[in-house]
Amino acid sequence: MQKTQRNMRQANGQRVLRRSPGFKFLGASDLSKAFDKMAGTLAGASLSRMGLLQGLIRALEQAWTQQKRFMVLGSFVGAKCLGNIGCLPQGDPSSPIALLGPIAEAQFRLQQEFDPSGTEVRWGIFIDDRHWLTKSLDTCLSIGQRWALEVRNMGMDENRSKSDYCVIGTKKARQHMQQEINSRNMPGTVHTRPKVLGTSIQTHRGARGTGASKEEKQRVDRTKQLIQWAKSIPGEFSRRLKFLRGTAMAIISTPGFARLEALSELAKDKWIT
């Protein structure tokens, strides 16, 4: 069983890349405080160019530009509400698609520049979370730099701690990639377990003995806490199980792509009885 688990982990990134032969350079980036920094007027203009109904756009822009908020510092709340706020409100159902408008337009410009034929780059995007898979190191890093420029033009920032890169190859190849990133003075760290759309994937066989990541261990601990707390929920077992399916299992299953260490660790503990 242990050998099977290792083999599954080793194959994660390699299985993904085998579907795109020749592609071995991966870049990924994420925005910092995306909704708080995206201007509603910029999002509205983008949605208008995409053909969204003008009446709907006007209604959304009014909601974005007429916000009122109170300043909160610790347990203290400001006496007066603040106006002149034009960002996208957190939790609003319209905010994700509004944010995606300018980002999708930026990605289209990148595709026209780096992959007009549609054969040289594999693109992925989910809201503000982006990744790209390329055949050459220069293209991979140039796309990362171009994304940073596009983001700055929007008045936003990339999350430097989430600028992940990787190369399917030797340790020397990874070192060379990191040196190129440093020489370009761009954010980014080469990982053997990069995150793609929020999910860690293992990209080479040499990491098979590394065990669970820090994030996975934290999620295991959080899941255990929820299990213990669920024992105090009044009612039948089916009610507690339904709660856990919507909370604990989501937490434990999302940190990895076919990663089994976290689930194996959780299996050592007794389930709710």
Q: Band of the pLDDT at 253, cuts 50, 70, 90?
A: low
**Rounded Cα distance, 54 and 77, in Å:** 37
pLDDT digits (tens, 9 = 90+) for 51-82: 989 998 888 888 888 888 888 888 888 888 88
**Rounded Cα distance, 68 and 91, in Å:** 15
| Spatial CA neighbour of 56 closest among 83, 94, 25 | 94
The more confident residue out of 209 and 156 is: 156
Q: List the alpha helices (DSSP H) in 189-236.
A: 214-230
pLDDT digits (tens, 9 = 90+) for 89-142: 888 888 888 999 999 999 999 999 999 998 889 998 888 899 999 999 999 999
Q: Band of the pLDDT at 268, cuts 50, 70, 90?
A: low
With vertex at residue 24, the alpha carbon angle to CA 148 and CA 127, rounded to the nearest 5 degrees, is: 40
Structure tokens at 158: 């990339």
- For 52, phi then psi, to 5°, come to -65, 145
**Rounded Cα distance, 27 and 181, in Å:** 11
Asked if 31 and 128 touch (Cβ cutoff 8 Å), the reply is yes
pTM of the model: 0.70
**Rounded Cα distance, 209 and 121, in Å:** 31
Residue 163 has pLDDT above 70, yes or no: yes
